[in-house]
């Protein structure tokens, strides 16, 4: 809501039942932490932009609502604020469902985006019927056409004014018009355009500007803003409107992304183009589809999606959010078009192109709100990845979130003082946060002073990779071996089993013989069992309980510090 001064994180208890049970198949992430048990996304990016999600009213309840409160500080309606939902019959406004989202945003001190005042889709037919009930677009007489134009613009003005007046103290960002340019670069020949030309765009913005809160921003929103010829067409339209004094404050880039399209360069160029007009940029409908266009073939169910697809998606999310961070001076908000893989419009598209059977997985949480590799990829933001300059001798190292009561306190403090580990840019250490394979390797490379004697050939480590030297050093020392398909997966969260293997290799701990007894029943049969056994026999681990090691659970930063100190 407009009047708030600060944004607060609100977390509630975990509901035991899913609001909407998924039938998409089991998830491979059952052993991963729940979304409520990891660092909120909006806290990770709190210093640069809002993190939002699109929802339906029923998702405000139960487990979904809890996840929404925990991870997001901005909210947008997926459907219930579109024209057909709010004014299905002329003069009869129904705000019942929209009010639910507005109240939720108020109660949880969240920013609110309104989507959308004017669109060519999901708009009732009555808007475009003349006084006699005939389609306005069929009129050929110039006098009748002008009368129709006046009537339609009056209806538009009434619709916009009524909504903006009602929500002026709640909405921070208004999508005033949506998708006014077609894919070929021309103005979309919707009834709005055929009857009024571009006047409907001008009147919509002018009316919204007259009645909105003074701090709210007005956006033109569209998809494929990154690619030609549409990008230039939108830019030219917006430039003309701005020069004519139309009160446009920002460009909304929907951001329906695929793993391989569009290019990062195209995305960044688009943001900079609109910023050059003095406009704010918001990413308004972000999702990362596993598929190209058309989405054929698609995996029939969630449990049939192979892990490498999720890892490719994580790398893509990592690249995208690094771009957003670079452009943080030009971007004020990033909104996902959903919360988890159990509810996405992309499933409808996958089914449409695959005879009714298909499943996509575009978000950072799985169908059961467990974290995916994509979460770890974007949650990594802000950590000091450089080999780092150790603190001057004698300079005490402190972290506001590490106290003597913190698990691993001694290990964290000793390694930080030695310069082996570093904190985040905000001064915190985040002891309970996960850590990636890359950052684990960087810590070990610093600790052991490893040097490259050979080059790795990991398919996901390009020749200009920022940490190529460190990866080659780890590879040369045999600390990392990569996956069976030749990848390093730098942004994947490292598991306790993977860490055991890496530590045994790094510190030359003799792997235990196959079948050697250990108390960890959950490690039996694991590919990491010999390494876990070796650590146990060397007195370097006692597991997480008397009979459990949890080989598939991501390692926390505090746990890594404990392990490294023990290895020393």
Q: What are the tens digits of pLDDT across the range 500-510?
A: 999 999 888 87
Task: Determine the pLDDT at residue 466.
Answer: 77
- Higher-confidence residue of 203 and 463: namely 203
The DSSP secondary structure of 138-201, one letter per residue, reads G--SHHHHHHHHHHHHHHHHHHHHHHHHHHTTT-SEEEEEE--B-TTSSBP--HHHHHHTTHHH
User: pLDDT: is 458 or 78 the higher one?
Assistant: 78
Least confident of 178-192, 205-219, 422-436, 549-563: 422-436
User: In the chain, what percentage of residues exceed pLDDT 70?
Assistant: 92
Q: Is the pLDDT of residue 352 over 90?
A: yes
- Its pTM surpasses 0.85: no
- In CATH, which superfamily holds the domain spanning 32-73+280-382? Glycosidases (3.20.20.80)
Instruction: Inform me whether the pLDDT recorded for 3 exceeds 60.
Output: no
In whole numbers, what is the pLDDT of the chain averaged over residues?
Answer: 89
| pLDDT of residue 5 exceeding 70 | no
Question: Which residue is catalytic, options 32, 179, 226, 285?
Answer: 285
Q: Is 425 a catalytic residue?
A: no
Over residues 217-232, the mean pLDDT reads 97
Distance in angstroms (rounded) separating the CA atoms of residues 124 and 88: 6
User: Comparing C-alpha atoms, which of 87, 149, 76 is closest to residue 118?
Assistant: 87
Please count the residues of the chain: 568
Between 511 and 188, where is the model more confident?
188
Domain 74-248 has what CATH class?
alpha beta
pLDDT number for residue 383: 47
- Mean pLDDT value across residues 335-343: 98
Specify the 3-state DSSP secondary structure of 334: strand
User: What value does the CA radius of gyration of the chain take, rounded to a whole number of Å?
Assistant: 27
Least confident interval from 226-240, 369-383, 454-468, 528-542: 454-468
* Residue range 257-271: mean pLDDT, rounded: 94
Q: Which residue has the higher pLDDT, 493 or 209?
A: 209
| E strand or H helix that includes residue 112 | strand 111-119
CATH 3.20.20.80 intervals, the chain: 32-73+280-382, 74-248
Inform me whether the pLDDT recorded for 386 exceeds 50.
Answer: no
pLDDT of residue 111: 98
The per-residue pLDDT for range 18-67, each reduced to its tens digit, is 233 333 457 899 889 999 999 999 999 999 999 999 999 999 999 999 99
């Amino acid at each position: 809501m407009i009047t708030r001064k600060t944004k607060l994180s609100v977390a509630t208890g975990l509901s035991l039942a899913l609001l909407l049970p998924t039938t998409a198949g089991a998830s491979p992430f059952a052993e991963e932490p729940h979304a409520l048990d990891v660092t909120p996304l909006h806290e990770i990016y709190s210093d640069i932009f809002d993190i939002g999600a699109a929802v339906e009213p029923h998702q405000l309840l139960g487990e979904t609502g809890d996840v929404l409160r925990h991870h997001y500080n901005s909210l947008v309606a997926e459907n219930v604020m579109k024209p057909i939902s709010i004014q299905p019959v002329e003069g009869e406004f129904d705000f019942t469902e929209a009010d639910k989202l507005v109240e939720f945003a108020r109660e949880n001190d969240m920013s609110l985006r309104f989507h959308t005042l004017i669109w060519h889709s999901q708009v009732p037919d009555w808007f475009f019927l003349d006084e006699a009930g005939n389609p306005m677009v069929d009129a050929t007489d110039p006098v009748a056409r002008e009368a129709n134009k006046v009537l339609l613009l009056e209806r538009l003005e009434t619709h916009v004014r009524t909504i903006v007046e009602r929500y002026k103290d709640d909405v921070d960002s208004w999508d005033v018009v949506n998708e006014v340019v077609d894919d070929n670069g021309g103005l979309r020949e919707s009834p709005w355009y055929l009857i009024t030309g571009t006047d409907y765009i001008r009147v919509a913005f002018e009316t919204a500007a007259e009645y909105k809160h003074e701090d709210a921003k007005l956006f033109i929103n569209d998809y494929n803003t990154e690619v030609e010829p549409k990008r230039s067409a939108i830019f030219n339209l917006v430039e003309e409107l701005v020069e004519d004094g139309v009160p446009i404050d920002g460009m909304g880039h929907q951001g329906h992304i695929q793993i391989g399209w569009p290019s990062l360069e195209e995305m960044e160029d688009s943001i900079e183009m609109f910023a050059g007009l003095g406009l704010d940029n918001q990413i308004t409908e972000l999702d990362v589809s596993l598929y190209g266009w058309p989405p054929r073939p698609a995996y029939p169910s969630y449990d049939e999606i192979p892990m490498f697809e999720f890892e490719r998606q994580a790398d893509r999310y990592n690249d995208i959010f690094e771009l957003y961070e670079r452009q943080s001076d030009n971007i004020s908000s990033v909104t996902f078009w959903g919360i988890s893989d159990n509810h996405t419009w992309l499933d409808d598209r996958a089914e449409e192109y695959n005879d009714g059977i298909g499943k996509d997985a575009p978000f950072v949480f799985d169908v059961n709100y467990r974290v995916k590799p994509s979460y770890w990829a974007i949650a990594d933001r802000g950590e000091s990845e450089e080999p780092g300059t150790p603190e001057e001798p004698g300079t005490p190292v402190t972290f506001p979130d590490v106290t003597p009561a913190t698990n691993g306190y001694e290990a964290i403090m000793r390694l930080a003082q030695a310069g082996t580990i570093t904190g985040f840019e905000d001064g915190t250490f985040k002891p309970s946060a996960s850590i990636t394979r890359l950052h684990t390797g960087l810590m070990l490379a610093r600790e052991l002073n490893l040097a490259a004697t050979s080059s790795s050939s990991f398919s996901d480590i390009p020749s200009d990779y920022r940490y190529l030297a460190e990866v080659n050093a780890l590879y040369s020392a045999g600390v990392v071996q990569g996956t069976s398909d030749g990848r390093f997966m730098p942004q994947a969260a490292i598991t306790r089993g993977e860490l055991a293997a890496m530590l045994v290799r790094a510190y030359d701990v003799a792997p235990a013989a196959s079948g050697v007894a250990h108390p960890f029943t959950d490690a039996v049969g694991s590919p990491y069992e010999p390494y876990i056994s070796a650590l146990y026999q060397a007195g370097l681990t006692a597991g997480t309980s008397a009979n459990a090691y949890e080989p598939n659970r991501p390692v926390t930063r505090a746990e890594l510090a404990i392990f490294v100190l023990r290895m020393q």
